[in-house]
Copies of this chain bind each other. A is one copy, B any other.
Amino acid sequence: MAKAASSSSYESLAIGIDIGGTGTKFGIVDRIGNVLFSSEISTRGHSQVESFIDELHSHLSVLIEKAGGTGRMRGIGVGAPNGNYYSGTVEYAPNLPWRGIIPLAKLIQNKFQLPTILTNDANAAAIGEMMYGAAKGMKDFIMITLGTGVGSGIVANGKLIYGHDGFAGELGHTIIIPHGRLHEGTGKKGSLESYASATGVKLTAIEMLEKSQEASLLRGIPKNQLDSKKVYDAAIQGDKLAKAIFDFTGEILGLALANFVMFSSPEAIILFGGLTKSGDLILKPTRENMESNLIQVFQNKVKILVSHLKESDAAILGASALVWDMKI
């Protein structure tokens, strides 16, 4: 992706901003992926996007000065939920405090007087992995973020797939179990996200505890406090029901990954996010079920890798990486 640095820009830096539902992380990154300075502000505290950008500007200005001033900044890359690469807008993002269609790239560009490019957070993560992480040197891979929701970024022929409208890569919303579990946010049934997200694992835990009579360490935990960390803690103590929760989640995730492989035949699938911390408890059933659903020509070829980028840096790195590919 990266073009060779010209002699006049070899010292230029990129600003990466990752906007999440709760907080917004930002930092200044050099060409080889060192996060030189970084900080964070609240997203949720700003009901108006203008006040959010004002606070972002005042905090980032300090970092920019530390890093040598605006003149060294090549541009700003932004990752945001429901971000559209083509239009630079964030559209109807359920997890952000701003409603409707927000021309976020334009607002930031006007405030900072720096070229600004935006994409959705999972696409930014994919670019970060391609430039600095587990997908370095790969031309065909799929990034799956397993967090509160399930996000994805797809790279084929060395390029991110944005689709005709900029919204490609919503793999979390593909239907894996027809007429399956209701996804509250979309009203659709049986999507990957309704099972393989933090929310999904919690719902699976609640369902399995209700359906089964088996003793489990999880029975002592109030429903609203169940999460994949607690399921993990129980599973490593040998709790059968906790293991079954991961097996079930891996069964669905593995089937979904098989379908994705038969679409774009990636060299690897890179997983990122909270659920991956459960290691082989989730990865083993995922791998097994991916393989068992693949036709022969794809079997034992596709790596499932866990991102090794520091979680705190990955989002900033991914967003900043957009800058090096900008046409300016």
Which residue numbers of A lie inside 8 Å of B, CB to CB?
Answer: 82, 91-92, 138-140, 154, 156-157, 159, 161-171, 173-178, 186, 188, 255, 258-260, 262-267, 293, 295-298, 301
- Does A163 contact B297, Cβ atoms closer than 8 Å? no
Given A186-B295, A188-B295, A296-B92, also A170-B139 (CB < 8 A): no
- Does B91 contact A262, Cβ atoms closer than 8 Å? no
- Does B157 contact A161, Cβ atoms closer than 8 Å? yes
Contacts A163-B265, A171-B262, A263-B264 aside, 7 further interface pairs with beta carbons under 8 A come to: A91-B297, A156-B157, A161-B265, A163-B264, A173-B295, A174-B262, A263-B263
- Does A255 contact B168, Cβ atoms closer than 8 Å? no
Which 9 residue pairs spanning A and B have beta carbons closest together?
A163-B265, A168-B265, A164-B267, A140-B164, A174-B259, A170-B262, A156-B161, A173-B295, A186-B295
Taking a contact as CB atoms closer than 8 A, the residue among B156, B164, B267 that contacts A266 in the complex is B164
The residues of B that contact A167 with a CB separation of less than 8 Å are: 265, 297-298
Q: How far is the CB of A297 from chain B (nearest CB, A)?
A: 5
Number of chain copies forming the complex: 2
- Does A178 contact B175, Cβ atoms closer than 8 Å? no
Rounded to whole angstroms, the CA-CA distance of A161 and B177 in the bound complex is: 26
Rounded to whole angstroms, the CA-CA distance of A178 and B178 in the bound complex is: 8
Rounded to whole angstroms, the CA-CA distance of A140 and B30 in the bound complex is: 33
Given A173-B262, A265-B162, also A168-B156 (CB < 8 A): yes
- Does B259 contact A188, Cβ atoms closer than 8 Å? no
Find the B residue at minimum CB distance from A177. Answer: B178
Rounded to whole angstroms, the CA-CA distance of A178 and B179 in the bound complex is: 11
Rounded to whole angstroms, the CA-CA distance of A76 and B116 in the bound complex is: 45
Rounded to whole angstroms, the CA-CA distance of A269 and B279 in the bound complex is: 38
The residues of B that contact A175 with a CB separation of less than 8 Å are: 255, 258-259, 293
Find the B residue at minimum CB distance from A170. Answer: B262
- Does A293 contact B156, Cβ atoms closer than 8 Å? no
Rounded to whole angstroms, the CA-CA distance of A157 and B170 in the bound complex is: 17
Taking a contact as CB atoms closer than 8 A, the residue among B165, B169, B262, B295 that contacts A301 in the complex is B165
Taking a contact as CB atoms closer than 8 A, the residue among B159, B169, B293 that contacts A157 in the complex is B159
Interface CB pairs A-B, < 8 A, 9: A139-B164, A154-B264, A156-B168, A163-B266, A169-B263, A170-B295, A171-B263, A188-B293, A259-B259
The residues of B that contact A163 with a CB separation of less than 8 Å are: 140, 156, 264-266
Rounded to whole angstroms, the CA-CA distance of A263 and B122 in the bound complex is: 13
Taking a contact as CB atoms closer than 8 A, the residue among B157, B164, B259, B298 that contacts A265 in the complex is B164
The residues of B that contact A159 with a CB separation of less than 8 Å are: 156-157
Find the B residue at minimum CB distance from A265. Answer: B163
Q: How far is the CB of A322 from chain B (nearest CB, A)?
A: 16
The residues of B that contact A255 with a CB separation of less than 8 Å are: 175, 178
The residues of B that contact A298 with a CB separation of less than 8 Å are: 167, 170
The residues of B that contact A164 with a CB separation of less than 8 Å are: 138-140, 265-267
- Does A165 contact B265, Cβ atoms closer than 8 Å? yes
Find the B residue at minimum CB distance from A259. Answer: B174
